[in-house]
Structure 1
Amino acid sequence: NPNPEEFHLSEPYPNPFNPAVNINFIQQKTSVVNIGVFDVKGRELTVLFDGLMPRGKSGFTWNAAIYPTGIYFIKARSGNQVQVKKVQLLK
């Protein structure tokens, strides 16, 4: 089993947000990471990062100005681990 501390998607902030939300990602070793934003129907709206991410803390911002008010999900995947955080866009 992988050590869950090797990979951590922090709580997005601010939440609720308008128009942008900040996402921090921390990992203990360099690895391939995919971070995407999904709507409530499971459709991927955008990819925030897809590639080799160095160990340590990385930060991302999703500007949702073109999207309607609603619930969205930030999903991070590294190897066989997946973490999801829920965010709310309030306009």
Structure 2
Amino acid sequence: QFSLSDPYPNPFNSRTKIHFFLKKINDVSIRFYSLKGEELDNLDFQSLERGEHFVEWNAGNNPSGIYLLKLETMHQTEIKKLTFLR
């Protein structure tokens, strides 16, 4: 369904870019979590076209630490680790 590259830069100090490739049109959900499982942010896209996509995430006022990025479609889920350094 999709391939998800490692976020770049990582570690990052304010913003990081998420790069993924969809093999067909799909609804996409991107969620950001603390290691405690608290959802910090979410991005939802409906009927996203096949092909390459880039999304930028701003960690905002969150403290430095390790975060999880979860990208999900109807048939696939992938998780990547992010390191935020203020």
Contact 1:11–1:85 under 8 Å retained in 2: yes
Q: Which amino acid aligns with 1:18?
A: N
The secondary structure found in structure 1 opposite 2:47 is strand
From 36, 45, 68, the counterpart of 1:41? 36
**1:38-77 to 2 correspondences below 5 Å:** 38-77=33-72
TM-score, scaled relative to structure 2: 0.93
Shift of 1:36: 1.0
User: How far apart are the structure 2 equivalents of 1:8 and 1:71?
Assistant: 22
Tell me, yes or no, if structure 1 residue 27 matches structure 2 residue 16: no
TM-score, scaled relative to structure 1: 0.88
User: How far apart are the structure 2 equivalents of 1:45 and 1:39?
Assistant: 7
Question: Between the two proteins, what is the percent identity of the paired residues?
Answer: 40
User: How far apart are the structure 2 equivalents of 1:48 and 1:74?
Assistant: 11
From 12, 15, 22, the counterpart of 2:10? 15
Structure 1, gaps ≥5 residues long: 1-5
- Runs of 4+ in structure 1 off by over 4 angstroms are none
Equivalenced residues, count? 86
